[in-house]
Amino acid sequence: MERVQSFGQRTFATRPANTNWESLPEENEECYVHSPENIPCKQGRIPLYAVIAETVEEVQTAVRFARDRNLRVVVRNTGHGVWRSSGPNSLQINLSKLKHISHTMDFIPQGGTESLGQAVTLGAATLAYEISNAGAKDGYIVLVGTCSTVGIAGGFLQGGGVSYLAPIYGTPADNALEFVVVTAKGDLVVANDFQHQDLFWALRGGGGGTFGIAVSTTVRAYPDVSAVDVWVNVTGPSNSTEAIWTATREILRMYPALNDKKHTAIVGVVPNPFPGYPAGVYLTSRALDATTASVNAQYAPLRARLDALGIKYRYSATFHPSLATLVAQLESIDIAGDGVVEGSVFVSEALHKAPDGPERLVDVLSRSHFGPGDDAGILLTGGKVKDNRGVVDTASRPSWRDALSLVWVRWRMSSSPSPAEQRAYGWNMTMVQMPLLRSLEDRDMGTYLNIADPGEPNFQHEYWGENYARLWRIKQEWDGDGMFIVKHGVGSEEWDEEGLCRVR
């Protein structure tokens, strides 16, 4: 049982392997972080063997060791990968020691002859806040997510990656330039646009822990820019639940305009309060290369509507000369170890622009079940993501290019959920919540695989759509024996629930 984990100056309680491990109930699993220490702990899904690799050579040695002994390998970067960082009777290769950041103004990929411009090469376990701090120091921006302790070169990027900066720069997978990979044979290869192109394509959206172990990743970096940081918060006892949903609808009416201007935006909705999570709706947006006056003018209609509706809110728009510094300052301390069940859908630009689009979206969300502290999120993900269609080819679901937002619902379980409670949450997410989210529109938009229902019965289609057949072929080429098997990963349908025995 791993009870405490530290990242730099951040220390917090964790549960084994990843924060969402309870999403997969284990029969008679009774040992939790909050359980008395005198309660015996069973093995559960904690691997029997583990290697904390300090060098690439140690990763290769561990893979060869597992191959010679027919052991399944699970890859742990930072442990945020939902269901993917642990597995019973396996060898876990922990990459947390593989950290480095190398910035260059002229990156030339191996096998290429021309510079691709400014880039950063990252060790496998480099965390979001570490690269943000480096960018603030040296004046560049790299796409990260909303969680500061995610290793951005792992399952985050390899799952496609959602970033608040995607409307300006594309998805994190769009911005990957090169991977150095330990294969299932223990070999070290470089994958980019000039060599091992099939592996390069698969690693950009095909899912982490599946095709090999990326020990080093090079991504695009962008010059630092100024930004206006915008906050709209609707909270407090003076606002009813109805007012919170009404405010959400009015904020979502702005999304197409924010998308057109390549602004960032994320909305969080907490319908019912929880200690540390007051009920409300929260908009965070960043306008790059803008002035406070222009942003205030853009938000004036929204503020006028909220005033007319009698909804109390707080608004701020603050100019920052450096976006990189702003991002580094706002990196929050993560509360890990939460037991949550979540699911997501991409929502098309067409729905957002429909006259009744915001109303339909709010109607579906308001009919969802939300207990204390449960939340919904709506992340703007259009702009450059759409513009990159036909320019950048990745393994991410093609319908992502048609989406204006990613919408998710997240339910918080009790601190020590019983197997029965876990199964009940999972059943309701699969059988009730996900069909409700998919009822938003007739278009087949799919799910983001890193914010996904653990019981998704049709993951191949929902995560990758028409790209799955090609991903499966690449999986057979690079890992035909199935050393790297993760739940709902490419090729996992050929194995049992735990990835131990072939069923096909």
Average pLDDT over residues 228-249: 92
DSSP 405: E
Q: What is the identity of the amino acid at 279? A: A
Q: What is the pLDDT of residues 348-404, one digit of tens each?
A: 999 999 999 999 999 999 999 999 989 999 999 999 999 999 999 999 999 999 999
Q: What is the pLDDT of residues 132-178, one digit of tens each?
A: 999 999 999 999 988 888 889 999 999 999 999 999 999 999 999 99
The residue whose two tokens read 């393994």 is 395
In a domain, 200, yes or no: no
For residues 161 and 172, give the distance between their C-alpha atoms in angstroms, rounded to a whole number.
Answer: 5
In a domain, 50, yes or no: yes
Q: What is the dihedral of CA 272, 274, 276, 277, to 10 degrees?
A: -20
Print the domain residue range for 66. Answer: 4-94
Average pLDDT over residues 16-36: 54
Task: Check residue 27 and give its pLDDT.
Answer: 47
- Has residue 447 got a pLDDT over 80? yes
CATH classification at residue 19: 3.30.43
CATH classification at residue 445: 3.40.462.20
In a domain, 196, yes or no: no
In a domain, 194, yes or no: no
Q: What is the identity of the amino acid at 103? A: H
> pLDDT tier at 24 (50, 70, 90 boundaries)?
low
285 Cβ contact list (under 8 Å, min separation 6): 229, 230, 258, 263, 264, 265, 266
Q: What is the pLDDT of residues 400-441, one digit of tens each?
A: 999 999 999 999 887 777 778 888 999 999 999 999 999 999
Residues 238 and 381 in one domain: yes
Q: How many domains does the chain have?
A: 2
Domain boundary among 432, 453, 474: 453
In a domain, 288, yes or no: yes
Tell me if 266 sits within 8 A of 406, measured CB to CB: no
Q: Please give the full DSSP string across 51-117, using - where no structure is assigned.
A: EE-SSHHHHHHHHHHHHHTT-EEEEESSS-STTTS--TTEEEEE-TT---EEEESS---TT--S---
Residues in the chain: 504
Q: What is the pLDDT of residues 337-347, one digit of tens each?
A: 567 899 999 99
Q: For residue 222, which phi and psi values (nearest 5 degrees)?
A: -125, 150
- Has residue 33 got a pLDDT over 70? no
Task: Check residue 199 and give its pLDDT.
Answer: 99
- Residue 77 vs residues 187, 208, 246, 261, 498: alpha-carbon distances, Å: 19, 10, 40, 35, 20
For residues 16 and 127, give the distance between their C-alpha atoms in angstroms, rounded to a whole number.
Answer: 19
β-pair partners for 435: none
In a domain, 152, yes or no: no
In a domain, 491, yes or no: no
In a domain, 222, yes or no: no
Task: Check residue 283 and give its pLDDT.
Answer: 97
Residues 445 and 299 in one domain: yes
Domain boundary among 438, 453, 468: 453
- Has residue 231 got a pLDDT over 90? yes
Domain boundary among 94, 116, 131: 94
b/e sequence 34-63, b meaning 16+ C-beta within 10 Å: eeeeeeeeeebbbbeebbebeebeebbebb
Which of 44-53, 67-76, 284-293, 336-345 shows the lowest mean pLDDT across its residues?
336-345
